[in-house]
Structure formats: C-alpha cells, structure tokens
Chain A
C-alpha cells in the first residue's frame, strides 16, 4: 500500500547542497558574495581573502570550512594575475621561490595550529583576534597615509617623501643571495621569514596575505615596485595551493562546490572592479579600502566584546572521516 501525500516543491529552488559544509546554500547569495568581493579585489588590486572569509563565516559557513575553502578561492583569484605578470617578466622567480619555501613551512605550521585550536575550542576566537589585529593595524596605517596624501594634493604642497630608513641589520644577516630581477643582494633570511609569516597567517585566516606581503617587500626588502605585485602573486598562488591540499588532508574542510561558486562569480566581479578602479585616483582608492578594512575589523571586534545573546555553542566532529 502506498500513501500519496502532496509534496510541496518550491518553485524557485535556487539552492545547492554543499557536500563538506553539509548544508544547503542559496546559490544567488554566494554568487553575489563572490561578485562583490571580486569587484572590491579588482577595484583595489587586493586578493579579497580577508573579506571573503569573514563574509562566509557571517553567512553561516563553519569557520573551518570558510578558511579551508578560502584557500582554494585565492588560488583561482591569483592564478590569472600571476600568469599575466609572469608574461610581462614582472616576477622575480628566485625571490618568489625563497618566499615560497618560507611560506610552505608557515602554512604547514598554520594548518596544524588550526587543528589544535579547533580541538581546544579556541579556533574561532583566534581567527577573530588575528583579523581584528591585522585589519586594524593595516586599516589605520592606510587611512592615515591616504588621508594625508589627499590633503597634500588639495593644498598643493609637495608631500614629504618617506625617508628611506637605514635597515642596516638586514644587511648584516648571513646567507646572502643575489636576486637579479630585483637588483638586490641581501640575506635569504628576511624573505624566508616574511614568507613563513604570511603562509602561517594564510592558513589561519584563509587569506592570501598580499596585504602583508606587498608592504613587507616594499618597505623591508626594498624590492622594486614593478616586481613586487608579480612576485607576491606568484608566491600566493603556490602557498595557497599547498594550504588547500593541507586543509583538505588535515582538516577535511575544503568544499569544492562552494569554492567553484565563489571562483566564477569572483572572477567576473573582479573585471568590473578593475574597470571601475581605473576611474578613481590612487589615494581615493586607498582611503576607501582603508575604510572598508576598518569596517570589517570593527564588525569582527564587536562580536568579541559585546555580551553574546547565547553563551553556549555546540560543535560536532566536523571533518572527521566516516
């Protein structure tokens, strides 16, 4: 005997089931999110990982899955740029490899750290603190810099150029290497350490780390500006690829379906962003980006200090094999 019950099938079933996050996601929501972050990353010339991961977490994706999937999304977002820069000979391969070597070490440590923090129940807190710290510092610095640049442009006064600091301690370090493309003869240790630090952060925060890598290369290593972007993209592609594999194998937290949604919409959004960015002045762009970075920082920080409506939380053993 069969009982026939009327089944309500929703007419607008724009949902897709995410196999790793184990939830049904609204396709339009995530496409829009990818598009928006892509637009901003195209507009400001940043990777967008630092925006994507918090957005994913806010929209209900488990933190670990957001971070793991973020790594895959960064690979996709950076790869076409890296290829283009490589064709234009803007990549210092040797420097990139040294940064990469550090990055892989940092990423391995970071992924292990994610595992330990998840078991201790402090992963979400750590991610939030890392975001608040880095976005706060970088946002504030950018805000000050761009505001003074805009003011200087308005008053017409010649802006006081930053004095090149004497980084003599960097030149005293051992293991000196010659980086032909960057016209540098420096120790391999600083790039290794910068690479490791950025790789570590990438694994923890689900961000490529370009927003730390680029200033570090310019101000600490004194790499010529034309080589900085290409080399940093080159490094980010490979470190994110390693991080993706590590997150998948250690934490089972990479959702390919979610990544694909974000990748495709992100690439499309980035094209519009780049077109819009060409119409704005550099310092205006930096001011906007600084405001955005600080907004995300405040939003994340808010949850840490305001009394939460629910003090309890539950976690199931997400990511454990069957």
Chain B
C-alpha cells in the first residue's frame, strides 16, 4: 500500500451541510461525532466546518430553494478528491415534503440532492442512525482511495 491511500484512509475530514430538513438528521449526525458514545474520531473521521479542509460532504435535507446555490458553492470549493453522502430520506428522494402530494410538483423543494450535486453514497433512514453514517463514510472510502 502506497502512502497516498494509506494516509487518506487514516484521516477523513467530514463536513455537514444541512439543507432544510426537519433537523432530526443534523442533530443525529453532529451528535454522532460529538457524543462520547459514538465518538466518530476513534474511526479516524474528523468533523470540520471548512470546505477547503473537507474530504467527505454529508448532505441532509431535501434542498430547499434558497439552499440550492449555497450547496453548489460549498461543493465546488472542496478540493478533489471528494465524496458526497446523502443522508436521510429527504436527501435521497425529497422526503415527505416532496412526495406526500403525489404528482403535483413542489415549488419549495429543489431536491433530492442528486439533482444538484453528484452523490456517491446514500444513507437511508428517517432520521438516519449514527451507525449508518459511519458505514456511509466507509462506503465512500474506495472512491477517495482510488483517486489520483
């Protein structure tokens, strides 16, 4: 194993962008990093709030209209290689907000996240479980490791 994938697997910086869900996922994810019970740092994953430092972008929420451009801007300012995790059912398919009224198009919701930025891993759940976020990060690792 060369130094490049070795180092990438041992320090993953994770950034969270909330795009207007119900707050449940955000708290579960931030909590999963912060609380000593899950303590994501022991798996060499660090929480950061600076896109220039991040490797993995976790997006929660169905991407409301006002959040579409900020999300794109944050995604673009992350240097390569980068990966995106869509966490929670809102981020996966717009959630209850986009789908409860059937085929009527929603004016508020621009999501799901896939419509705006490319997604590498999808973590289901309403709200996501902290354990699942960890497995989501693990699922994006091959992409990070194999990139130049």
- The reply to whether chain A is a binding partner of chain B is no
